[in-house]
Amino acid sequence: MGLPDNLSDLIDFDVATLKVKSRESRKLEFKESFVRGQLASYERTMAAFANALGGTIIFGVSDRPRLIVGTDPAGFMDEAEITTRLKADFSPEIPFESRSYEVGGLTLLAFCVQPGVDRPVICQKTQSKLTHDAQGGNPRQDVVIREATVYYRYSAQTSPILYTEFRALLDEREERRLRIIMETLKAVERVGYEKVGVVDATSFGDPAKATNLYVSKETAKSMNFIDHGRFTESTDESSPAYLVVGKVSLGEVVHAPMEDADKNLPSEVAETLLPLVRELFGNDVSLPTSGIKPLLEGFGLMEMPYHEFDTKIRRRYVTRAGIDELKVKMRAEPLKALQSFASQKVIKAYEDSLAAAPAEAPAAEPAPAA
């Protein structure tokens, strides 16, 4: 943030007459006083600064003539209260710095906003204020900030953004995103793809929240975590230890992209398993496509490396390993397999056939040696 210790480093003014020589610009705006009820209009200017070059609002400077007149400190709001309002009215967040100055027994207040890191900053809540005509009558609600509007600083005024500047902000954001991706890939290449995980830094360092770590299963197997306490160097070189700040969740594991041979749809799996179904249960029994998911659930094969559900396109895949494991499980527990996909009539018929089948004769004991 960029507020100096002395007001003279921020604006040009005459100490004797308190006349301000600086003019309003793309990065500077004056207000005669700070009024709590006018906060929405201040937010509007701060959002415009964040979407442009950054800037400063100085409270306590009159317009005509432009003089330092000061503003009542009793009406000031603390930064936490203003931050709460900004978070409610704009997204992403608008970081800012505030500071008060004393000049000739008068108090001035300054808000400094830097260019937004993740701009455009967009208004997410409409705010209005009550206004009257010159005679104090005809009260009406005038919109100060409007939902879904992007404000921008042009010359010495704030207004909704125009196409050219909006297009430039979007292009800048895309360039930044691609630059971050490329820098991340370079870091991954240096470390080694098989040794890298991705930390979600949203809640990093907060002991009350879990920090998600996305790694492959192979990488996760080689990692030990210190849940709390001080870091202790491991004497076993084959088992590296990592200090964890806060809580770490390994609930989500990133898998390598599936090969095409592993993207078997349920209909294809049903066709592949049909010969085994006929072998086990007879030619009258079929395996519907809808029976594949219950089969996988029944034998606990819903996770990789056996099965994956692509949430983006809502498509289910069974891998080659999943098909092979289903075959093994179905041979080992045919009744359990049948119960997962067949009708009650088919299951009852199979159970009856098992009951009617003659028990295997016990093997004859060898004759004693003569």
How many residues would you count in the chain?
Answer: 370
CB 111 within 8 A of CB 42: yes
- Give every CB contact of residue 234 below 8 A, 6+ residues apart in sequence: 224, 240, 241
**CA 98 to CA 109: how far, in whole Å?**
7
pLDDT at 12: 97
pLDDT at 60: 98
Longest dimension (CA), the chain: 133
> What are φ and ψ of residue 231, in 5° steps?
-70, 130
Domain co-membership, 68 together with 169: no
69 part of a folded domain: yes
> What are φ and ψ of residue 263, in 5° steps?
-95, 65
Residues 8, 10, 13, 16, CA torsion sign? negative
Domain co-membership, 228 together with 319: no
Domain co-membership, 239 together with 269: no
CB 123 within 8 A of CB 115: no
Provide the 8-state DSSP code for 115. Answer: P
**CA 316 to CA 296: how far, in whole Å?**
11
Domain co-membership, 212 together with 265: no
1 part of a folded domain: no
CB 36 within 8 A of CB 73: no
pLDDT at 247: 53
| SS3 letters across 232-296 | CCCCCCCCCEEECCCEEECCCECCCCCCHHHCECHHHHHHHHHHHHHHHHCCCCCCCHHHHHHHH
**CA 191 to CA 356: how far, in whole Å?**
64
370 part of a folded domain: no
The domain containing residue 281 runs over which residues?
Answer: 260-356
Q: What is the pLDDT of residues 64-115, one digit of tens each?
A: 999 999 999 999 999 999 999 999 999 999 999 999 999 999 999 999 999 9
129 part of a folded domain: yes
Domain co-membership, 205 together with 273: no
Domain co-membership, 138 together with 16: yes
Strands 106-113 and 96-103 turn out to be antiparallel
Number of domains in the chain: 4
Amino acid found at 210:
A
Domain co-membership, 72 together with 84: yes
Q: What is the pLDDT of residues 198-254, one digit of tens each?
A: 777 766 666 666 666 776 666 665 665 554 444 444 455 544 444 444 455 554 455
Domain co-membership, 178 together with 297: no
361 part of a folded domain: no
pLDDT at 362: 52
CB 244 within 8 A of CB 227: yes
pLDDT at 150: 98
Domain co-membership, 225 together with 272: no
**End-of-domain residue from the set 225, 249, 273:** 249
Low-confidence ranges of the chain (pLDDT < 70): 1, 202-212, 215-257, 358-370
114 part of a folded domain: yes
Domain co-membership, 237 together with 342: no
CATH label of the domain that carries residue 102:
3.30.950
Find where tokens 């088992």 sit.
Answer: 239
pLDDT at 338: 94
202 part of a folded domain: yes
**CA 347 to CA 108: how far, in whole Å?**
85
pLDDT at 252: 47
Domain co-membership, 167 together with 227: no
Domain co-membership, 152 together with 274: no
How many percent of the chain have pLDDT more than 70? Answer: 81
